[in-house]
Amino acid sequence: MKMMIKKIGTAYKIAGIFIALAAVISCKKNNINAPQLTLSNITDTIPASGGTVTLNFTANAAWSIDTTGFGWLQLSQTTGGSGAATITLTGAANNKSGASRSLLLNLNASNGQSRRITVWQDVIIYPSYNTSAKAADATGMSSTASQIANNITYGWNFYNTMEAPGSETGWGNPPITQQQFDLLKANGVNAVRIPIRYDGHFINTKTLQIDPLWLARIKEVIQYGINDGMYVTINIHYDPGSTLTGAPQDSANAKHRAIWEQVATYMRDFDEHLMFASLNETSLNNSNDVTSMVTTMRYHQTFINAVRSTGGKNVYRVLVIQSPSASTDILNQYLDPTNVYKTPKLPTDPTPHKMMLEFHYYSPSQFCILGGGTSTTPQDASWGKELYFWGNRNTYSVNGTYTNYHTTNSLFLDRNCTSANEESYVDSIMHTVKVRFADKGIPLFMGEYAPNYHAARLTGYPADSLKALASATHFTAYVAQQAKANGVIPFLWAGIFDRRGLNGVPQGPAVVGDQVTLDSVKVGVNRGIAAYGTGTKFQ
């Protein structure tokens, strides 16, 4: 009986081994046979003048693309079998059809996988200004976008000075000078952002040729920053028209290309301390307006293509593209690079590791947008009340002894921000962009942020007035701290430094106008750097 039991037990063990082996073999077979097609749903662009793009993918089954009625687009291969594949897409030269054109490629594999590839070709509306392209020049351009982000301590905007109508004094600001850059540098700021207008500076509106005098002035201002070893970012401070469709959108896109070809060519010889940013604060019909988001990415792709095509150092220059509406929420929701199925997609840059993503931080808008001026009347809007007080943490000793920055005065309790949009929200939003972008080698560029001025509304209430000022300081420092703690470069829109102008006329040299906030920001930035583990100290 014992022998029989032993034999039966042995038989079960042998059977168990066979079952396990069968399961392993089955799993391996299933793994081998798992449907594979390593290509995302993408959008690619053929230059209006003609050219090629390539698709690279691997499939473990036969595949095909139907090209019926394609006409202007030729494919080097339309069918294939299992393995790696490279398809060259060639667009016809000089699209003068009167409108941009697109084709949808349906790539279908016999394993059930399929992908949709949209191919665009822009229309030629304005003459090409890329008439003197240079061979690629990597001299002085070796840093990646992440390395440059790590080198930047803190950034500051020359706000709307060069975006004013007519000239840089058009909105009452004094002209930009070397002394203003020197002041920033002396106080530890090593990066500036210069918003720029080109409308009003065309010497020929039919061809969009930019006035050489305006280009020369922009170059002169850039040189002020380069003289101080600073990083300088210039943009086109406008929305090309992200809600446009059809021919108007084609015209806007062609305008974007014409401007950037001229600007990139003129500024081509600056080293990596100069960066280009595509556009500013596009408009959306609503936060779920995917069509306008795709249009924004189209403008960004045109920007990248235009800059890179001019050659020289521009082949390796860091380029900054902006989230639709400069929104962190949209950035996180729609542009997560790990999600291959959602649209829109980030544009394609032929030069790796040279892209930054820009967003702006004006949250809550009742605190950051509403307000300003010397009126004692609240600057309320139809969509919300002006808020005077932000923050519920005692973070910076230089701000005084506040345990939080909310008023307890019953007259102004409705002017306190809520915890939903204070420090915890900053912590959350900055951590999210770090995980989705900075940790994946795409540094974040917070091109604008700032509180507004509210103390005038508190005239006659000195304690509350002082608390409102301290609250603004706390906001400025805390947002900078959490930005740096999460791999984001903060650029203050305005404040701290006083350029001392009146109606466009300088009133003396620029000075530090708010030493308390400057000191607080330095504390915040350096705490952020310590938390992030790397970065250049703000001293």
Residue ranges with strand state E in 310-466: 319-322, 355-361, 444-449
**Of 310 and 331, which is predicted with more confidence?**
310
Q: Is the pLDDT of residue 518 over 60?
A: yes
**Residues 15, 16, 18, CA angle at the centre, nearest 5°?**
65
Does the N-terminal peptide bond of residue 248 adopt cis geometry, omega within 30 degrees of 0?
Answer: no
Closest CA to 48 of 275, 253, 307: 253
Q: How confident is the model at residue 480 (pLDDT cuts 50, 70, 90)?
A: very high
The domains found in the chain, sorted by start residue, are 37-121 (2.60.40.10), 138-378+422-530 (3.20.20.80)
What pLDDT was estimated at residue 20?
43
Average pLDDT, the chain: 89
What pLDDT was estimated at residue 49?
78
Over residues 435-454, mean pLDDT: 95
Over residues 155-162, mean pLDDT: 96
What pLDDT was estimated at residue 19?
43
Q: Which helix (H) or strand (E) holds 523?
A: helix 515-532
Q: Is the pLDDT of residue 9 over 90?
A: no
Q: Residues 6 or more apart from 67 whose CB is under 8 A from it?
A: 73, 75, 78, 105
Q: Is the pLDDT of residue 76 over 70?
A: yes
Over residues 414-429, mean pLDDT: 95
Over residues 196-221, mean pLDDT: 97
Which sign, positive or negative, has the C-alpha torsion 144, 153, 171, 504? negative
Q: Is the pLDDT of residue 38 over 90?
A: no
Over residues 17-39, mean pLDDT: 56
C-alpha gyration radius of the chain: 28
Determine the Cα–Cα distance for residues 438 and 357; give it in Å rounded to an integer.
9
Does the N-terminal peptide bond of residue 344 adopt cis geometry, omega within 30 degrees of 0?
Answer: yes
Q: CA separation (Å) from 67 to 60, 74, 132, 367?
A: 22, 8, 36, 55
Percent of the chain with pLDDT over 90: 72
What pLDDT was estimated at residue 395?
60
What pLDDT was estimated at residue 96?
76
Token pair, residue 262, equals: 């001229």
Over residues 50-59, mean pLDDT: 88
> Token pair 């595509």 is at which residue?
278
Q: Is the pLDDT of residue 43 over 80?
A: no
Asked which of 32-36, 322-326, 469-473 is least confident by mean pLDDT, the reply is 32-36
Listed as own residue / partner, the contacts of 516-521 with beta carbons closer than 8 Å and 24 or more positions apart are 516/398, 516/399, 516/473, 517/472, 517/473, 517/476, 517/477, 518/187, 519/398, 520/396, 520/398, 520/399, 520/473, 520/474, 520/476, 520/477, 521/154, 521/476, 521/477, 521/480, 521/492, 521/496
Q: Is the pLDDT of residue 1 over 60?
A: no
State the DSSP code for 37: B
Asked which of 44-48, 225-229, 230-234, 413-417 is least confident by mean pLDDT, the reply is 44-48
Q: How confident is the model at residue 389 (pLDDT cuts 50, 70, 90)?
A: very high
Q: Is the pLDDT of residue 257 over 80?
A: yes
What pLDDT was estimated at residue 26?
41
**Three-class DSSP category at 258:** helix
Over residues 364-381, mean pLDDT: 97
What pLDDT was estimated at residue 402?
76
- The answer to whether 388 touches 471, Cβ cutoff 8 Å, is yes
Q: Which helix (H) or strand (E) holds 498?
A: strand 497-498
Q: Residues 6 or more apart from 202 whose CB is under 8 A from it?
A: 208, 209, 210, 211
Q: Is the pLDDT of residue 22 over 80?
A: no
Determine the Cα–Cα distance for residues 57 and 105; give it in Å rounded to an integer.
14
Q: How confident is the model at residue 394 (pLDDT cuts 50, 70, 90)?
A: low
Q: Is the pLDDT of residue 305 over 60?
A: yes
What pLDDT was estimated at residue 183?
98
Over residues 488-507, mean pLDDT: 92
Over residues 4-30, mean pLDDT: 42
What pLDDT was estimated at residue 286?
82
